[in-house]
Amino acid sequence: MKIKAIHCICIISQIILIWVFGSYGYAVAADTAVETVSKNNLNAQTALPVGKLNDIVDNIQLQKKEIEERLGMLRKAKTEQEKNKIQSEIDEISRAIEDQETSFELILTAGQELISEEPEGEKQFDWQKDLLEIVQPILSELRQMTESRRKLDNLRKKIMWYQTKTQEITEVLNHFAKFDKAALEPDTLIEFAKIEKKWRNELQESNHLLEVARLQLNEMVKSQTAREVSFTEHIQHFVVGRGTTLMMMIITFVAVLFSLQLLWKAVVWIGFQKSTHWSYYQRLISLVYHSLTVMLAIAAAFYVLSARDDQVLLAIAVLLLVSIIWVLKNSIPRYIEELKLLMNTGAVREGECINYNGIPMKIDRLSVYTKLTNPALPDLKLRLPVSELSNYVSRPYLENEPWFPCQEGDYVMLSDDRYGWVKCITLEHVQLSLSDGSMPQTYTILDFLCASPKNLSQGFLITSVIGIDYKHQSQCTTSIPGILEDGIRQRLLQESYGHALKKLSVYFELANASSLDFKIIATFDGSAAGDYNSIRRDLQRFAVDVCTRQQWNIPFSQLVVHQGE
């Protein structure tokens, strides 16, 4: 059943395309054919063919007399074989009479025929037949547009057939002329004359029917020429008639749809503007209202077609609607899941977050196109259709949960000690560069997050180690740490980043192999993140300056070799 239905829909779609794109093409083609034939024949056919009509009637009378003769022979026939032969001749002559009577009428009516079809009574339900009845107006219109062309083509074929038949009979009669009749015996001559007469009668009949067919063609051409309509007039007729109907239908559909949408927005603005999150029943009302909006818009469009009494456009609209429903029926399970999302009862919930390409994105409001944002990155926004959103699972987020390690303009330090300024952040990439924007380096979101970036713009500390000689061992745990701390602090406060210094500490750390090591720990707020490398160098420089002023020797690593005795 499904295959048959799909086949029917394909056929119907082809019919619609032919009707839309070929309707006036057929008309123009028919007009062209009519014009071509008329140029060749109409100049010699200006008067009604009264003489030919008389010939047809005379020929019919002769054939009726032949039938009476055959009927007399049929009554006198003795054997069944003779009766069958005579009856077949009578039937053949009767068909010829019927054809000529039809030709007589068609010549008078210029090829027009009476419609003898009557409406049929009620029948059992058959959806395929009902579907074909729906497209019947389209088929009737196509048949009407091509009727003249088809009749002309049939008449041309008929004329060619009679011409061929006449030529063949003429060749046979020429062959008869080659026989020497004087050499034939009387009985043979009688049979010869009988057959020759039969073929001559057939030639006369064929010539007569050929003339009748030509006459029909000429009369149809004259009739078509009298009713000839130009392509421009066809366009004007379409614009005034069916084009106006189409425009009215589209305007009505759009007007109803948008007016109801505006009404809904007004209701939402008045009644729901204070609601940050919609309840289940609010979403249900919204879904029902939007469904009714679409149905009312479609009903309004069909009402316009019905009021304009355009059965062709009405049939096309019904077929399009049925085709859309048929195509979408296999997607019902997916649409059910999407409806669950819109009702906030699916795997993705409003106000929660999803992980999109490694970045947590907050779901602001569920809709056909849902808007996703990241609170830490205000410029990072995403609009996902509900069909794509159904592939995710959301989760609640914590109030103090970090949405991203950094923002544009921050300074970060990666796990491989790469330092840089965050120049750009997108949903796919993070770009780092020097503070002046030079030497940019791009990371994918996944690679950037795997590098465990440290955000220096939120505050940082720098450690450094300085070692002095063992001869100052007596002071290494008492006065030296304080002297180093005071000296380094004074120098740091004199620098441009000095205001960002939050804490400075110097501790004795380790009695090393060749030196007494002191650890320097400096803590800064994020405003000094751009001077990170300068601060690291300055800590060593300032520590060395203090050692120089205090005349503390800074040893270097030594390798001692003992020589055995």
Tens digit of each residue's pLDDT (9 = 90 or more) over 378-390? 888 899 888 888 8
Within a domain: 346: no
Please name the residues in contact with 171: beta carbons below 8 A apart, sequence gap of 6 or more. none
| 423 shares a domain with 372 | no
Least confidently predicted of 210-214, 283-287, 470-474, 556-560:
556-560
Average pLDDT (272-301) is 77
Least confidently predicted of 104-118, 407-421, 446-460:
104-118
Q: What is the rounded distance in angstroms from the CA atom of residue 110 to the CA atom of residue 427?
A: 75
Range of the domain at 276: 233-341
Per-residue pLDDT at 424: 92
Mean predicted lDDT score pLDDT of the chain: 78
| 503 shares a domain with 444 | no
Within a domain: 350: no
Q: What is the rounded distance in angstroms from the CA atom of residue 467 to the CA atom of residue 518?
A: 6
| 167 shares a domain with 92 | yes
| 247 shares a domain with 218 | no
Beta bridge partners of 359: 356
| 170 shares a domain with 22 | yes
Within a domain: 562: no
| 274 shares a domain with 208 | no
Per-residue pLDDT at 135: 64
User: What is the distance in angstroms between the CA of the first residue and the CA of the last residue of the chain?
Assistant: 109
Which of 232, 254, 279 corresponds to the end of one domain?
232
Average pLDDT (228-247) is 70
Whether residue 100 contacts residue 60, with contact meaning beta carbons closer than 8 Å, is answered with: yes
Which of 194, 209, 232 corresponds to the end of one domain?
232
Within a domain: 107: yes
pTM of the model: 0.51
Count of structural domains within the chain: 5
Within a domain: 279: yes
Whether residue 179 contacts residue 192, with contact meaning beta carbons closer than 8 Å, is answered with: yes
Within a domain: 554: no
Which of 232, 255, 287 corresponds to the end of one domain?
232
Which of 97-106, 261-270, 272-281 has the highest mean predicted lDDT (pLDDT)? Answer: 261-270
Within a domain: 119: no
Whether residue 555 contacts residue 467, with contact meaning beta carbons closer than 8 Å, is answered with: yes
Higher pLDDT, 528 or 98: 528
| 497 shares a domain with 387 | no
| 519 shares a domain with 392 | no
| 492 shares a domain with 381 | no
Least confidently predicted of 119-123, 166-170, 471-475:
119-123
Least confidently predicted of 48-62, 239-253, 255-269, 460-474:
48-62
Q: What is the rounded distance in angstroms from the CA atom of residue 363 to the CA atom of residue 116?
A: 68
Task: Evaluate if residue 33 carries a pLDDT over 50.
Answer: no
Token pair for residue 326?
A: 């048929």
Per-residue pLDDT at 507: 93
Within a domain: 278: yes
| 157 shares a domain with 305 | no
| 542 shares a domain with 492 | yes
Which of 121-125, 200-204, 228-232, 465-469 has the highest mean predicted lDDT (pLDDT)? Answer: 465-469
Least confidently predicted of 253-262, 326-335, 343-352:
326-335
H/E segment holding residue 114: none
Cα–Cα distances in angstroms (integers) from residue 343 to residues 184, 277, 284, 470, in the given order = 105, 12, 7, 76
